[in-house]
Structure 1
Amino acid sequence: MSVLDAPRGLHNVVVTSTSIGDVRGDEGFYHYRQYSAIDIAESRTFEDAWFLMVEGRLPNLSERAEFSRTVAPLRVLSAQVREAVASVAATGPEQPLLALRTVLSGMPGAVPLYESTEADKRATALRLCAVTPTVLAAVHRLRSGQEPIEPRQDLTTAQNWLFMISGDVPSDAHARAVDRYLTATIDHGFNASTFTARVVASTGSDIASAVCAAIGAFAGPLHGGAPDRALDGLDQIADLADADSWARTKITAGERIMGFGHPVYRTEDPRSVMLRETAQQLGGELIDKAAQVEKVIAAALADLKPDRKLYANVEYYAGVLMELCGIPRSMFTPTFACSRIVGWCANIVEQSADSKIIRPIARYDGPEAPQALPAL
């Protein structure tokens, strides 16, 4: 058997084919199916992009309305799930994503993918995607000493998310800003969590198990985003005049500046550009400061790391946008998960059509074997 050494981290290794989307890092472009993801985020809605992931095409107005009517009742938690949420909120993992993973792992109906019909897969995926924001918002409120808020059937995903967190129906501007963020982060190539979901799906396991595995990967500090930590960095810069020295100190110390750099993009992150413009439409001192600090940090990185092209990534302005819309910092990454689960489920369903299990090998570099067993 021939063996092929892959680069560390499987960098630029093609492992399968997908019709869901792609990232073209050198161009600063990514797409869902045949459409620019940014075009969808700016001109359509999260529900439209969700429909595209499920159906493979964008909906017309009547199809959007029907899809919204289908999803709305799926957001409501059953009595069994409510009990699980209450238990996890009281005694479960502190990190909201891990609390979500615990709840979803106990959801009923864990049917192996190879035993599920296409209709069953679609129904299960829709239910998991719809219920995720409700679970996360309920855990947050319970841990804040507040009662969970029921989702409203007349509100969109973005509106419901803000409503279930705060108890107030959001302004159109805030709802539209969050809708753009959710739409722009549904899918982004074969990132670690998406690949993890597909590995589990390739075994024939159930959709919930694959989603829970993806959540575990997503919760890792190197993957799930750091919009709260990027914002923490902004907090550390009390005055714009301090930004350059702050950045240079971190760079020369070998510390990572959260919210800058991306493993794929060699240009500006298109999500960051869109979110910056969206946040600027909301206005305020925070976005003004963030835009000015971005320029200073980018200049310092270009000066001290001239061999690398490092720009603000999606996390930088995601944190700013969510802060402006009143989302607590502890819920920044969970907001990301409310979107990305749609992409995970699309990839899980697509992978389930391939009967070949994903089974790479590792190169052993331990002690020489076999060796005699030591005497007792």
Structure 2
Amino acid sequence: MVITTRAAARDPRDDAAGTHTSAAPARAPQAATAPAPGAPGGEAPPGLKGLVVTRTELGDVHGREGFYHYRQYSAIELAERRSLEDVWHLLLFGELPDEEARTAFVARVAPLRHLPPEIAEVLPTLVRSGRHGGPLDGLRTALSLVGAARGMQSLYDADPASRLEDALVVGAVTPTLAAALHRLGLGLAPVSPRDDLSFAANYLWMLLGAEPTAGQVRAIERYLIATIDHGFNASTFTARVIASTGADLAACVVGAIGALSGPLHGGAPSRALDTLDAIGSPERIDPWIREHVLAGDRIMGFGHAVYRTEDPRSRMLRGVAEEFGGDLVAFAMRVERRVVELLAELKPGRELHTNVEFYAGVVMELCGLSREMFTPTFAVARTIGWTANILEQATDPRIIRPSARYVGPPAPQPVP
């Protein structure tokens, strides 16, 4: 994998030559000036922020413009106008399907939703042994079992057709696993998937045990499409790092779920609703916000590592929430407005807007999902994006192997 700065990335000859970051000799802190960022031995910015690490055909995020896309299409426009199956097809095959291709794709993935008997038999044990971890932890383990049960080859050894089939299996079976683990945790029997329902409708059917309304299906489908992929976020990058080692596809997704489980990444939708609960009533909005802003506390559901304007996913999901209406939506919109206004007053010059998690939590709650299923639902969508990234990474034979700059005591020293 090529690691460059944005400036260096402009010259395609550098990428063609296969430039790598190589390990530099350990130096004491008082050593000579370090190489420039992106050069061999050069230091990357903290958190790799803004560092371009590879090329991709899957999409990009434009933080200053408040825009992101899947391949050549606006992700938000896709969420508003196309089905999840269409977007899944786009990411894997590079084009939106026509009616014939869509029918064939749906028929191909529908049977893959069903759990193999040996996996279904193990799920109750997973729930009992991991009762405090929740469905996301169970999903991580269950997908590892799926990989083992299918005998998934390493990406290094598998041919492209086998890799694609593994990707389709993982993308199709993840919502079935997540829903089954959730229901078993509640003491309810899992609900089998139906081949006559769309991806989003099937997910709600398996979670709720009742056929969802058209409004619920479109709301959840738009959320799922909007969160399928989002640049080189922590979980996607994790999946690609593992893929670069040649590991099997299930192992890559399991690692990505581990990254997603952190509250600073995928674990925030329920916490954003917790914020609304903590505020409680309209008269408490201003004092609660003032107290937490002045204390420097993080307000969950606000701010983003990339966007310097309104998160387009939040804007879309606000519209979805407004279609439902009701007290929760009105309260959430009032809190959003006052956070922005009070931040401008208390921290002038610092812009802070809602991110995807704020209204995602509202929408999912209105669709009947319990809060423990918010992050697993995020994973259900993101698995499709992860697998597309894994397949792309598998075409590059180079392992991702950056370096760290040693800043400890000078070495070597005598061993006492």
Q: TM-score, normalised by structure 1?
A: 0.97
Of 252, 256, 264, which aligns to 1:214? 256
Aligned to 1:100, the other structure's residue is in SS state helix
5 Å matches for 1:310-325? 310-325=352-367
Structure 2 counterpart of 1:124 = 166
Instruction: Look up the equivalent residue of 2:141 and give its one-letter code.
Output: T
Measure, in 2, the Cα distance between the counterparts of 1:132 and 1:301: 39
Of 302, 306, 310, which aligns to 1:264? 306
Compute the displacement of 1:304 (Å): 2.1
Compute the displacement of 1:293 (Å): 1.2
1:138 aligns with 2:180: yes
Aligned to 2:121, the other structure's residue is in SS state helix
Instruction: Look up the equivalent residue of 1:104 and give its one-letter code.
Output: L
Compute the displacement of 1:98 (Å): 1.6
How well do the aligned residues superpose, as a CA RMSD in angstroms?
1.1
Aligned to 1:63, the other structure's residue is in SS state helix
Of 358, 368, 380, which aligns to 1:326? 368
Compute the displacement of 1:241 (Å): 2.3
> Which stretch of the first structure deviates more once superposed, 352-361 or 230-239?
230-239
Measure, in 2, the Cα distance between the counterparts of 1:27 and 1:128: 33
Compute the displacement of 1:225 (Å): 3.7
Of 68, 74, 78, which aligns to 1:40? 78
Measure, in 1, the Cα distance between the counterparts of 2:186 and 2:180: 10
Compute the displacement of 1:336 (Å): 0.5
Structure 1 counterpart of 2:16 = none
Structure 2 counterpart of 1:204 = 246
> Which stretch of the first structure deviates more once superposed, 20-29 or 298-307?
298-307
Q: Deviations for 1:29-77, whole angstroms, at most 9, x for unmatched residues?
A: 0000000000000011111111111111111122222211111110100
5 Å matches for 1:11-50? 11-50=49-88
Aligned to 1:31, the other structure's residue is in SS state strand
Compute the displacement of 1:284 (Å): 1.4
Structure 1 counterpart of 2:37 = none
Measure, in 1, the Cα distance between the counterparts of 2:341 and 2:99: 45
Instruction: Look up the equivalent residue of 1:103 and give its one-letter code.
Output: A
Of 295, 318, 322, which aligns to 1:253? 295
1:3 aligns with 2:34: no
1:230 aligns with 2:272: yes
Structure 1 counterpart of 2:142 = 103
Structure 2 counterpart of 1:283 = 325
Aligned to 1:154, the other structure's residue is in SS state coil
Measure, in 1, the Cα distance between the counterparts of 2:340 and 2:101: 43
1:171 aligns with 2:209: no
Q: Percent identity over the alignment? A: 55
CA radius of gyration, larger in = 2
Instruction: Look up the equivalent residue of 1:111 and give its one-letter code.
Output: Q
Structure 2 counterpart of 1:92 = 130
Compute the displacement of 1:305 (Å): 2.4
Gaps of 5+ in 1: none
Question: Where does structure 1 differ by over 4 angstroms across 4 or more consecutive aligned residues?
Answer: none
Instruction: Look up the equivalent residue of 1:223 and give its one-letter code.
Output: H
Measure, in 2, the Cα distance between the counterparts of 1:134 and 1:182: 15
Of 298, 304, 308, which aligns to 2:346? 304
Compute the displacement of 1:103 (Å): 1.0
Of 121, 144, 149, which aligns to 2:191? 149
Instruction: Look up the equivalent residue of 1:120 and give its one-letter code.
Output: S
1:293 aligns with 2:353: no
1:191 aligns with 2:230: no
Compute the displacement of 1:96 (Å): 1.7
Of 76, 88, 93, which aligns to 1:55? 93
> Which stretch of the first structure deviates more once superposed, 213-222 or 238-247?
238-247
Q: Deviations for 1:117-167, whole angstroms, at most 9, x for unmatched residues?
A: 111111000000111111111111111010000011111111111111110
Instruction: Look up the equivalent residue of 2:196 and give its one-letter code.
Output: D
Seen in structure 2, the aligned counterparts of structure 1 residues 252 and 163 have a Cα distance that, compared at 3 Å, is: same
Seen in structure 2, the aligned counterparts of structure 1 residues 84 and 305 have a Cα distance that, compared at 3 Å, is: farther
Measure, in 1, the Cα distance between the counterparts of 2:355 and 2:152: 36
Measure, in 2, the Cα distance between the counterparts of 1:304 and 1:227: 25
Measure, in 1, the Cα distance between the counterparts of 2:231 and 2:288: 33
Compute the displacement of 1:187 (Å): 0.2
Measure, in 2, the Cα distance between the counterparts of 1:84 and 1:250: 44
Compute the displacement of 1:188 (Å): 0.1
Compute the displacement of 1:236 (Å): 1.7
Instruction: Look up the equivalent residue of 1:106 and give its one-letter code.
Output: L
Compute the displacement of 1:240 (Å): 1.4
Aligned to 1:23, the other structure's residue is in SS state strand
> Which stretch of the first structure deviates more once superposed, 216-225 or 175-184?
216-225
Measure, in 1, the Cα distance between the counterparts of 2:96 and 2:64: 27
Structure 1 counterpart of 2:105 = 67
Compute the displacement of 1:307 (Å): 3.0
Instruction: Look up the equivalent residue of 1:95 and give its one-letter code.
Output: G
1:78 aligns with 2:125: no
